[in-house]
Amino acid sequence: MELILMGTACASSGRDRDNTYLLLRDTDGSTLIDIGGNPLGKLKTLGLTTHEIKRVVFTHVHIDHIYGLPSLLWGMWIDGREDPLEIYCDESEKEWLQNWLELMRLTKWPVAFEISVRAFQWEEPALLWQKDETALSVFPSRHGVAAVGIKVEHNGTVFVYSTDTTPNPLIRDMARIDLLVHESTTAERSLAMHSTLRDIAGYYDWGKIGRGILVHLTDDEPYDELLKELPVGISSKISLGRELERIPLTGGILNGKSEAPE
């Protein structure tokens, strides 16, 4: 299993970054966590097809996290997809999402695959799917709207994605996290319902975290300068996410082994 950072920018996007969304690749079918800009182009750059996407999990329905869905579905139709697609969202957004799918007039394309919308209750941790040694669950975020973070356990490796959030005690209280991908919209300046790099460095117990990657980044923020000021025991574990960075979800993540296109 590997994690790919499909985009790493904040809601206003960036000069060289798309809005933050992730691809969790697995031999049993891959999962898109949110869908930002140009999903079809990003998949082609990676040498992947739409056929391997089995499910989509929306952490919340702010526009920057969902607007790539029509493009993805269009690409799946062009590719002649027949396998079903699962889309997960909060129960309060299920009807809205189904109405959006109807407005896309998918039957007039006509789409030849089933799209099933599956709901969870964002206020409570929930297991979305599990197979063998892999499980994906959600837990409440602190974003002021119905929003969830993501936790993946794979063969003993624990990966956590914060989604948009203020520092989250549910993440802080986890016993161990091998890879934490956390939003950091700013370096130090306060922004409602979001985290700063200084927040992240001071709030979490980095003795329990193997590696941290910052996403939801804003252009021209002094992230690098602040990292140099932090204790080396923390700064050595934190890096800024790169577009299309690929991180194997194995013990290698503890050593910062990942790849991104040149």
pLDDT of 252 higher than 70:
no
Sign of the CA dihedral 14, 230, 183, 213?
positive
pLDDT of residue 251: 62
pLDDT of 262 higher than 80:
no
Residues in Cβ contact with 79 at an 8 Å cutoff, skipping those fewer than 6 apart: 49, 50, 51
pLDDT of residue 27: 83
Residue type, 27: T
Structure tokens at 192: 């409602």
Cα 189 to Cα 105: distance, rounded to the nearest angstrom: 43
Residues 146-155 have a mean pLDDT of 97
Percent with pLDDT over 70 in the chain: 95
pLDDT of residue 255: 56
pLDDT of residue 124: 96
pLDDT of 5 higher than 90:
yes
More confidently predicted of 183 and 262: 183
pLDDT of residue 101: 97
Cα 202 to Cα 174: distance, rounded to the nearest angstrom: 16
Q: What structural domains does the chain harbor?
A: 2-247 (3.60.15.10)
Angle formed by the axes of helices 39-46 and 69-78, to 10°?
60
| Burial per residue of 54-78, b for 16 or more beta-carbon CB atoms within 10 angstroms, e otherwise | bbbbbbbbbebbbebbbebbbbbbe
Contact 131, 55 (CB under 8 A): no
Classify residue 239 as exposed, middle or buried by CB count within 10 Å of its CB (0-12, 13-18, 19+): middle
pLDDT of residue 259: 67
pLDDT of residue 257: 58
pLDDT of 256 higher than 80:
no
Chain segment 22-33, per-residue pLDDT in tens: 999 998 889 999
Chain segment 227-242, per-residue pLDDT in tens: 999 999 999 999 999 9
In a 3-state reduction of DSSP, which class is residue 258? coil
Chain segment 70-128, per-residue pLDDT in tens: 999 999 999 999 999 999 999 999 999 999 999 999 999 999 999 999 999 999 999 99
pLDDT of residue 250: 81
Chain segment 170-216, per-residue pLDDT in tens: 999 999 999 999 999 999 999 999 999 999 999 999 999 999 999 99
Read off φ and ψ for residue 30, nearest 5 degrees.
Answer: -95, 160
In a 3-state reduction of DSSP, which class is residue 133? coil
Per the prediction, the chain carries an average pLDDT of 95
